[in-house]
Structure 1
């Protein structure tokens, strides 16, 4: 069913990095979500008011908020498709993350309000009328929501969109919450023990839990989460295919929304290479990354001294000194300026306990003790 809807309503559906195609995916998800959730909302509110069950009514209101979430998803993906402009030179792709965060906020608000109402019902229980209609409506809701969750999860996997994943997570949590309401209705019918308020609390708790999970997942790319290691690995693979590239380091990628990634990479080439030759190597690599990964990259070229036994011995000795400080440290871009100024970069894990100033002093002291004829300058790169 999902593939049928995609092929029916999304043109060029395999081109998921295209902003117009992503917008069509958003319209499809939003349209389906609005139809399903409005239908369930009407059915549940009718059954809830007829039976007097706060659990059913709360579940219906949750469906109404889900319909609103679908509207936000549609608007978010439509706005994220806007091209880059003077105020937003990297495009508007991160609006997808903001849309997902708004959805999470709606989910949290609905869950909180339902919790308040349910606590009142728990303290002052009211009779509930259990009917075949109410149970049928709730059972149908579970079926619809399972399908809707799978539908949006598949869209999320296909497009790598957090907005779809947030909607899918919400749908699956709704299934659990609705199942709890059904169980409480059956217990009331069989024993007369009124768990309606407790059911509302469970439903509200599940709603808030799913909202918190969606918010946490969405905040990561907004704050700037690490790049996908697979993408970094592919960039390095493309770089070292060129035999003129002697080494690769400082590979970074920044996402400005799904399918909108910018990267930077440092490559090492032999120091005797002319400026024109080095520029050609960098330009060729930028083109290859763009063509194969659809990533705009900036390549920085570092010259490397090759074939000098004295320099190679110095680098080996310095590497041993650095490993003596800590095995997790590594260095690159070793250069000697003005005969005695030794300059290099050191890669440091984010988790390394020492601060930058303390670690820099430690490295400089150890290096100068090993090579007293050199003045050492080090640049720390947290990785």
Structure 2
């Protein structure tokens, strides 16, 4: 199974699990008037959408190179990630407004053991999904799967907070239920901003980090005939990069000799992680 098939499986599992949780949480939440459970339910709605966008983005990103897309479709993952970030921010806003209204109007929820049971079931299910997706993402070095695992881990924390609000609410501390809803909204907003930031940097063609750049320069300088490295830059295409190298060689070299050095540079640099292609420009020293 390749990385795209694995991402597809992860997305489908996420959709199924979150649809089930969404239905159960909202029914129990509205019946018991628990803002924390309702907030958790809307969080699951966001998770359904996120998993659906993961599926769609992965489907496009897995398409091979063609005449109009000579470097493939891998940036689709980040376009869809940005869509997910906007949906999370919208969900966070709705939860925050609902929870603030509950605090201002001093609404009390009706305690039910169903609330605690659903919260415990959610924590257990999300923990299993987190462990599965984390291991799969690390094995395939797939950032999209790892993002899904982080989302499942976040849900474990969020629902644990919901469970705390339910337990304390049963003891008469009803205001905490609304406070937990506010906390959940802030956590979802933070996750949305973080996904947006990661997608933005790739889509805006951010350069490689300085350590990787330094390692590439060191590798190039070890090649016989290279006078010095003028510049190393990169253009991200999804998870991978097109590395652009500018070097100077002796001006007395023949075209054949300069081409040979450029070929050696390309071979050396392509072994670096996430390097899809290498473009080399040779200047006379």
Pair in the same fold by TM > 0.5? yes
With over 3 angstroms needed to count, the CA separation of the structure-2 counterparts of 1:275 and 1:109, relative to structure 1, is same
State the partner residue of 1:274: 254
* Greater Rg over alpha carbons, structure: 1
Q: Are residue 263 (structure 1) and residue 243 (structure 2) matched?
A: yes
CA distance 1:154–1:104, change in 2 (3 Å)? farther
1:30 and 2:11 correspond: yes
On the 8 A contact 1:100/1:162 being kept in 2, the answer is: no
**Residue 225 of structure 1, aligned match among 186, 200, 206:** 206
Match of 1:179 in 2: 160
Mapping 1:112-123, distance limit 5 Å: 112-123=93-104
Q: Secondary structure at the match of 2:74?
A: coil
Aligned to 1:316: none
CA spacing shift, 1:243–1:68, aligned 2, 3 Å: same
Show CA shifts across 1:173-229 (max 9, x none): 333322222222211212354433222222222211221122122211111222134
Which of 274, 279, 282 is residue 298 of structure 1 equivalent to?
279
Q: Distance in 2 between matches of 1:242 and 1:123?
A: 70
TM-score normalised according to structure 1 size = 0.67
1:30 CA drift (Å): 0.2
Structure 1 stretches of 5 or more lacking a match?
1-10, 12-20, 305-383
Pair 117,275 (structure 1): closer, same or farther in 2 beyond 3 Å = same
Counterpart Cα distance in 1 of 2:188 and 2:52: 19
CA distance, structure 2, for counterparts of residue 199 and residue 133 of structure 1: 18
Instruction: Provide Cα deviations, 1:95-138, integer angstroms capped at 9, x if missing partner.
Output: 11111111111111111111122222222233322222221211
Q: Which runs of 5+ in 2 are unaligned?
A: none
Q: Cα distance, 1:165 vs. partner?
A: 4.2
- Assess, with a 3 A threshold, how the Cα gap between structure 1 residues 109 and 149 changes in structure 2: closer, same or farther: farther
Deviation at 1:156, TM superposition (A): 4.3
Deviations 1:17-61 (A, max 9, x none): xxxx33212202102211221232233223223422122122122
1:83 aligns with 2:64: yes
Counterpart secondary structure, 1:90: coil
- 1:57-79 Cα offsets, whole Å, 9 max, x none, are 22122112202211110110110
The match for 2:171 is 190
Judged with a 3 Å threshold, the aligned counterparts in structure 2 of structure 1 residues 291 and 166 are, in CA distance, closer, same or farther, namely closer
Alignment of 1:348-363 (within 5 A): none
The separation in 1 between residues aligned to 2:173 and 2:263, in whole angstroms, is: 76
Alignment partner of 1:267: what SS? strand
State the SS of the aligned residue for 2:196: helix
Q: Distance in 1 between matches of 2:161 and 2:219?
A: 52
| Matched-pair contact (CA < 8 Å) for 2:126–2:155 | yes
* 1:140 CA drift (Å): 2.3
The higher-RCO structure (CA 8 Å, 6+ apart) is: 2
C-alpha separation in 2, matches of 1:47 and 1:263: 53
Q: What's 1:212 paired with?
A: 193
CA distance in 2: counterparts of 1:223 and 1:150, whole angstroms: 32
Per the TM alignment, residue 162 of structure 1 is displaced from its structure 2 partner at its CA by 4.6
1:285 Cα shift?
2.5
**Number of aligned pairs?**
284
C-alpha deviations, 1:235-254, integer Å up to 9, x for none? 33442343222322301121
Instruction: Please provide the CA RMSD for this pair.
Output: 2.4
Structure 2 equivalent of residue 66 of structure 1? 47
